[in-house]
């Protein structure tokens, strides 16, 4: 059971990191869009 618990913790860490990266991309996309950089905004959306 210990191994399963560690596996779940590791997977949660990975998912959390990916979610934070996705949020960062969304924010960066909005910043680019607000500056009129449409191509970059679309790339980061």
pLDDT at 41: 92
pLDDT along the chain (45 residues), means of 10: 93 96 94 94 88
Compute the distance between CA of residue 40 and CA of residue 17 in angstroms, rounded to an integer. 22
Helix H or strand E segment including 34: helix 2-34
Domain residues of the chain, as ranges? 2-44
Q: Quote the CA–CA distance of 38 and 24 in Å, as a whole number.
A: 17
Q: What is the pLDDT, as a whole number, of residue 1?
A: 81
CA within 13 Å, CB half, 44: 17
- Residue 22 carries which DSSP code? H
pTM summary value: 0.69
pLDDT at site 37: 95
């Amino acid at each position: 059971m210990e191994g399963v618990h560690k596996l779940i913790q590791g997977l949660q860490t990975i998912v959390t990191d990916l979610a934070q990266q996705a949020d960062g991309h969304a924010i960066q996309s909005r910043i680019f869009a607000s500056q009129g950089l449409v191509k970059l905004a679309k790339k980061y959306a």
